[in-house]
Structure 1
Amino acid sequence: MKIGYTKISGQGELDLLLAGAADKLSAAGKRCMGIVQINSDREDCHRCDMDVQVLSGGPKIRISQDLGKESKGCRLNPEAMAEAIAGVEQRMTDGYDVFLLNKFGKQEAEGKGFRELLGEAAASGAVVFVGTNGLNERAFIEFSGGVAEFVEPDERKIMDWIQTPAE
């Protein structure tokens, strides 16, 4: 079982890092599963729209909801996230080498979200790699049974870690 993670204080940077890694892994012939996040700026709001790309070859799904320009609450759309989870679950039967998750977040820390699929991916022998933040890092390490390896938030280091066979 090979499980790794990285973290960056700025979620936008982390999203770009993992989306870039997914593109390079696919170009190198690795079959990727999971989701990466792709944000798009909005002129009418100080916050971006949050979209996820279901790997590999799945749809792009808007997971944020518009709560208004001055909103400060959680914008995650639970129905859209459920759609992304279902999309990944349907594709997992096709086989894959690497399972990427843009963020092991609050939902996963609470036992929901992508948590079950992460467990299935790890049990299948695929390389599992996630992004996380300081709030949920401990929960991810506990989820991994303490075997998750931290990888510096550098695309080359992440690519090397993913492509190095497990010991």
Structure 2
Amino acid sequence: MSGRVSSDVNTLAALVFEDSEAANGIVEAFARDVSLAGHRIGGVIQIADATQACDCRDTLLYDVETGERVSILQDLGRQSQSCRVDTSAIAHAAHLIATALERSPDLLFINRFGKLEIEGNGLLSEIGAAAVAGIPTLVCVPARFLEAWRRFTMGFDEELPCSAEALQQWWSAVKQRSAPTPVSIDASSG
């Protein structure tokens, strides 16, 4: 899959992935590099952590600004077949993202577009608010949900392959687009 980054780059980008762990690592390194370069970042990225009692890996959201970690999965026991997503944790993540949006970061991270967002819940409102505000925003989108993402964004996004190079290319284009235009002063007028 190739990215759609162009001279008319959109500020909303989807990092389309097959392997969740690979996407998490790429985004974590990218967020660190952008922050170290002096850019103000906000929002949450997804990381996997320790195994829970149910022998399932826990999934954490990491607030890139404060370092806070939020577990988004419930331990429902070994035999549970129910959805493990903790809706109160997702609500907390939405609050973290909304708070970051208020500060207008140079780049906002939203961990995923998934089943909850497809159903109109989860972090869908925050993705929309960031897009409307024109804040450069990176959202990780599993390939299996790409068609639903496309219906949501209606082409007002950039689809990026899951690579550090694609992220850098998009971010460079976004920075260039938002760079101030030099003002020319005509000395002959006046």
TM-score by length of 2: 0.78
Q: Write the letter of the residue equivalent to 2:151.
A: E
Which residue in the other structure is 2:93 paired with? 84
Question: 20, 31, 39: which one pairs with 1:30?
Answer: 39
Which secondary structure does the structure 2 equivalent of 1:135 belong to?
Answer: helix
Alignment of structure 1 residues 37-116 onto 2, 5 Å: 37-42=46-51, 44-57=53-66, 59-116=68-125
Q: Which has the larger radius of gyration?
A: 2
Which residue in the other structure is 1:128 paired with? 137
Q: Is the 8 A contact 1:58 1:87 kept in 2?
A: no
Q: Is the 8 A contact 1:66 1:75 kept in 2?
A: yes
What is the alpha-carbon distance in structure 1 between the residues aligned to residue 108 and residue 63 of structure 2? Answer: 11
Q: Tell me by how many angstroms 1:70 deviates.
A: 4.2
State the number of aligned residues: 167
What is the alpha-carbon distance in structure 2 between the residues aligned to residue 13 and residue 46 of structure 1? Answer: 21
What is the alpha-carbon distance in structure 1 between the residues aligned to residue 93 and residue 129 of structure 2? Answer: 16
Cα 1:93–1:58 change in 2 (3 A) is farther
What is the alpha-carbon distance in structure 1 between the residues aligned to residue 57 and residue 143 of structure 2? Answer: 22
Contiguous gaps of at least 5 residues in structure 2: 1-9, 179-190
What is the alpha-carbon distance in structure 1 between the residues aligned to residue 99 and residue 111 of structure 2? Answer: 18
Q: Write the letter of the residue equivalent to 2:173.
A: T
What is the alpha-carbon distance in structure 2 between the residues aligned to residue 69 and residue 162 of structure 1? Answer: 42
Identity over aligned pairs, percent: 25
Which residue in the other structure is 2:154 paired with? 145
**Does 1:156 pair with 2:161?**
no
What is the alpha-carbon distance in structure 2 between the residues aligned to residue 141 and residue 29 of structure 1? Answer: 32
Q: Write the letter of the residue equivalent to 1:85.
A: A
TM-score by length of 1: 0.88
Q: Write the letter of the residue equivalent to 2:97.
A: V
Q: Tell me by how many angstroms 1:58 deviates.
A: 5.2
Q: Tell me by how many angstroms 1:114 deviates.
A: 1.3
The CA RMSD measured in Å over matched residues stands at 2.0
Q: Is the 8 A contact 2:41 2:65 kept in 1?
A: yes
Q: Tell me by how many angstroms 1:43 deviates.
A: 7.2
Cα 1:43–1:80 change in 2 (3 A) is closer
Contiguous gaps of at least 5 residues in structure 1: none
